[in-house]
A and B are shown apart, each in its own frame.
Chain A
Amino acid sequence: MRKFTEETKPSRAIFLKWPLGHPLGEPFKDKQHNAVLREAFNALKTIKEPGTIIDVPFRWKRDDDWRSVTIVTKKT
C-alpha cells in the first residue's frame, strides 16, 4: 500500500507494512496504538523534506491462524 502514499504525496507520512484496516494495530492493544502515534508525532517534528515517508519497522507477526496475530513493536 506504500504506492498509494507515494502517489497521494502527503507532506509527511509513516508507513507500516500491516494489513488493510489496521493502521494503528489490533483492537484494544492500546500500547501498540500509542507506539504508532509516537512514531507519527515524531515524524511531524523530524521530517524536514516535503513528501518524506518513514518506514516504521514494526513487524506484523502472524501465527497459523491469520487472525491470531502478534505485533512486535521492537525495532529491528
Chain B
Amino acid sequence: MGRLTNKLIAKLFTRFPSLAEKWVKNAAQSNIQGQVEDIPWAPFNKELKDCKIAIVTTAGVHLKTQKPFNMEDPNGDPTFREIPLDASKQDLMITHDYYDHKDADKDINIVFPIDRLKEMKDRNEIGSISGINFGFMGHIQGAHIDTLVNETAPQVAKKLKEMQVDAVLLTPG
C-alpha cells in the first residue's frame, strides 16, 4: 500500500475505533502472538520522587534533524531515535503513517509528555528525567519484529540502564 492509503486507513481507524479493533485483533495474532514468552519484571521499591524517569514512545517522534522513520517499507522501521531532554518542541516531529497524528502535531505531549514530566519534576513528584529519551515507530511487522526484539529494543534497554533510569513511561501512537 502507498503512503496515502496508509494515512487514509489511519484516519478511518481513528474515526471508527471498531475497525481498528478488528484490524488489531488480526494483526496481533499474525504478528506478535507467541513472540513474547516471558513477561519481564523488575520490582519497584523506590519512592517516585527519587526516581529518574524516561519516555520511550512508539509514536514516531524524532528530531527534525534526524533521519525520518522509513515509511516506504511496508514492514515498518525497527530503528530508534535518541531525543535529548533539552530539545525544544519545535525541534521535534512525527513520522508515522499508521495513526492519525494531527492532534499530536499540535501538542506533542499527547504522545510524548515531556512537558508534563518537567512539571512533575518541578513539583518534586519525580526525581529527574533521563537526559535522553527514545522514539520508535510502532508499526513493526515481518522480519523487523526479530530486529526490534533482539537488537534495537535491547540496545535501548542497555542505554537506559547505563543512564540509571529507574522507570520508563512507554507511550503508543
A positions within 8 Å CB-CB of B? 1, 3-4, 6-11, 17, 19-28, 30, 33-34, 37, 40-41, 44-45, 50-51, 66
User: Number of contacting residues on B, CB 8 A?
Assistant: 47
Which segment of B64-72, B78-86, B97-105, B127-135 sits at the interface?
B97-105
Q: Counting chain A CB atoms within 10 Å of each CB, which of B13, B40, B172 scores highest? A: B172
Q: Tell me if A's interface is mostly helix, strand, loop or mixed.
A: loop
Q: Which of B94-115 contact A (CB under 8 A)?
A: 99-104, 106-107, 109-111, 113, 115
Q: Are A27 and B107 in contact (CB under 8 A)?
A: yes
B165 within 8 A of A: no
9 contacts between A and B (CB under 8 A): A9-B36, A20-B99, A21-B102, A22-B104, A24-B171, A25-B110, A33-B109, A33-B116, A44-B167
Cα of A50 to Cα of B36 in the assembled complex, Å = 13
B17, B20, B36: the one contacting A8 at CB < 8 Å is B36
B21, B40, B48, B109: the one contacting A24 at CB < 8 Å is B109
| Min distance, Cβ B64 to any Cβ of chain A, angstroms | 19
B15, B28, B48, B172: the one contacting A7 at CB < 8 Å is B28
Q: Are A44 and B48 in contact (CB under 8 A)?
A: yes
| Min distance, Cβ A51 to any Cβ of chain B, angstroms | 4
| Min distance, Cβ A17 to any Cβ of chain B, angstroms | 8
A8, A27, A44, A50: the one contacting B103 at CB < 8 Å is A27
| Min distance, Cβ A15 to any Cβ of chain B, angstroms | 10
B15 contacts across to A, CB distance below 8 A:
66
B120 contacts across to A, CB distance below 8 A:
37
Q: Are A20 and B116 in contact (CB under 8 A)?
A: no
Q: Are A10 and B170 in contact (CB under 8 A)?
A: yes
Q: Are B48 and A19 in contact (CB under 8 A)?
A: no
A10 contacts across to B, CB distance below 8 A:
39, 170
Q: Given A11-B41, A37-B116, verify A23-B110 contact (CB < 8 Å).
A: yes
